[in-house]
Structure 1
Amino acid sequence: MSAKPNAYRAAILHSLDDPAEVGVEASYQYFEDGLLVVEDGKISAIGHASELLPTLPTDVNVVHYQDALITPGFIDTHIHFPQTGMIGSYGEQLLDWLNTYTFPCERQFADKAHAEQVAKRFIKELLRNGTTTALVFGSVHPESVDALFEEAQRLDLRMIAGKVMMDRNAPDYLTDTAESSYLQSKALIERWHGKGRLHYAVTPRFAPTSTPEQLALAGQLLGEYPDVYLHTHLSENLKEIEWVKALFPERKGYLDVYDHFQLLGQRSVFAHGVHLCDDECKRLAETGSAVAFCPTSNLFLGSGLFNLPQAEQHKVKVGLGTDVGAGTSFSLLNTLNEAYKVMQLQGARLNPFKSLYLATLGGARALCLEERIGSLSPGLDADFVVLDYNATPLLSYRLQQSKSIEETLFVLMTLGDDRTVRETFAAGRSVHQR
């Protein structure tokens, strides 16, 4: 990568902290005419264009985006790469949906060539929607993880993924064993974790599809490799919760199953958490575990409404997840549109700056990556997106009426989608142009 810096001029906005913790005004930094300076894949400076431009060497390439907003790259804290081809599948709630659509679709990923083809499409779709980092479920097949990481490495993306561990309550063609899941996960960790900007996540699908032996070995992997992630599902659906109680009657609740097998911790991310009690939220916070809020998926499968104010009250780390393929869009802008409605249905408001936080710095904190990604502070990876105010005629017209950056941000999140993303950068390189 060239040592010569590049500079990008536009309106610039990024989160500094959680609005729920510091208040809205102290939570963000905005430059109406800003400049972002990038050198060797890192952000070297951010500020007002009028102040920074005179300080730059004369040979610096300055790219000026008119009618555009630069934000950090979006961070998706829960998504299923093998479910790309079954997005928008009709008519079921969670458990029937898994059996009818998910498992047959994931069966195809035993074929490495198929996994490679879908991995290319999946990552292209992420970047087209401005997502520069994702926490990703593979399938039960190690080939799926190899294919995804190979494509992510080619583009120097910061991605986290893992092979599904699943040794019961699934079709024979899609189950592993406690021992094989441990050995295959261990081999994948050794091959990929920490290579470039890649990280591994130990990935039991959810408690009902893992025996106690398999969950114990997942906990053992976390002990052997303390800086890998744990990625699974929690309290998404009421029937699922009843099933967990029947399978683990000795445990006091769903979260306690994972807690018993030592799966909670700073790098543990639990998707959904729609039906959590206060004690479970307290335990998540105590252990530094995070929840991935997946509003599009929760609405699509009829699972319920995530209680963000409850999570805030207990200081639980929360990121945003699209949960494709139950989620119906790769776009985190579209996902925030749904998140706003989920809050409205509970009599709560989702401030646009809180939305920005969830999609960027909040996701980074959920993944313990805030010192590398999530904001545009100097020293961080240059992962950012350029959002186009004129992406559609309606968006252009509506934004002409905007009187503040708060209003502009809310309109982008309400009317925006993949068309809004003009360009996506990862480690300072353009990886998508509309």
Structure 2
Amino acid sequence: MLKRTNSILIVEDEDIIRSSLREFLVDEGYQVGVASSVVTGMLQAKKQDFDVAICDVQLPDGDGLDLLRRLQQLNPSLSGLIITAYATVENAVEAFKSGAFDYLVKPVIFDDLSNKLRRLFEYRELYLENQALRRELSRRDNRDEIVGSSKAIRQVQDAIRKVAVTNATLLLVGESGTGKELFARTAHQWGTKQNERFMVANCSTRPESDLDSLLFGSVGNANPQPGLFRLVGHGTLFLDEVAQLPLATQMKLLRAIEKLEATPLGGSEPYKIHARVIAATTRDLSAEIEAGRFQEDLFYRLDGSKICIPPLRERLDDIPELVESFISKHSRAMGRKATLASSDTIRLLMSSQWRGNVRQLDNAIERAVMMCEGTHVRPTDLPPDLRGADQPLPDTDDLRSALRHYERLHILRVLDQCPDKREAAKRLKLGLSSLYRKIEELGIDL
């Protein structure tokens, strides 16, 4: 895969300077966007993340130093160069205070610009690597920690914290992929049995005939089993998809919870149960009772301590934190350099439907980290289905905005399938120059 081209935004109101800078930088191999004012510069930056902004100090509708500050608020990883007509100590100090890496004096000497950009990108690469290392050193191993700070997730955390310390039986209800096992592990860690074992039994992946002996053990056969309730001891046993237990096994589970005893399959002597039970399901247990597939007594025993895990679409504010956590996890596992997601990527992820919830997001970021060549995950690194034509249109009544959104997604899909621009233009029934103009207008990162 080709290395991602560094991108530069030029904000300069003089046509000759702007066009000559653009021509020089394109020849140098950079991807270049241009603007002639503060307003158009901000519009360009909202459409696309740039690595560097070159801003003239004096613009027709504002100050270039203030513009640079605003651009860096929009994209904290952006670096800046300031163009000034006068090389004075005062101007240099003001430029550095505004967050500029360096400044250029009119008329701009191309060799000087080239050298300063080379040093800037060398410094930028070292800085981003340093920031990534700092994050890794300061980040605890959070595989068993809940990520997110949205209201929905805070409410779940508060409920789990209250139930955890009681060591009471707990029921977690939520769609597939919402992370019910992670919440169960959190409840175990926050409880008084945190130093005991945590074991998982997935009731949907075993034949029904095996589930009884898996949980409660078996005796008097060629392959006796101790059972997970014995193996876990005083720890926590997590029963995933508890609704898929056979009815007879559900009755034994109810007795284990209420009477704290169980009898192994084929045996006659009961043994004491010391484990805490946390159960989870994706099914509506009330409907399962109506269908005769779930014991009503067990339902009432579990339903009193029920906590509902929200789907990802109800906690979209958590996506930036989740993405950063997943990028860190997968970059560490694969030995990749990716540390962050671009703002374009975050916006795209927050507009997706996430039928597979957090698990789907995790898988998407794993793929993106695998495809990413630099430090920032870009929309083009994501799975094609997340940026294809099946994406929902923006929630707006503005027809132009909706059409622009669809147009961008459609061109991205064709370019992903056909990297050759001439062939892509033919498929889109556009001239090559028109395709390049569309790519620039829509802020498509190649």
Give TM-score scaled by structure 2 length: 0.25
Higher strand share: 1
Higher helix share: 2
Larger radius of gyration: 2
Give TM-score scaled by structure 1 length: 0.26
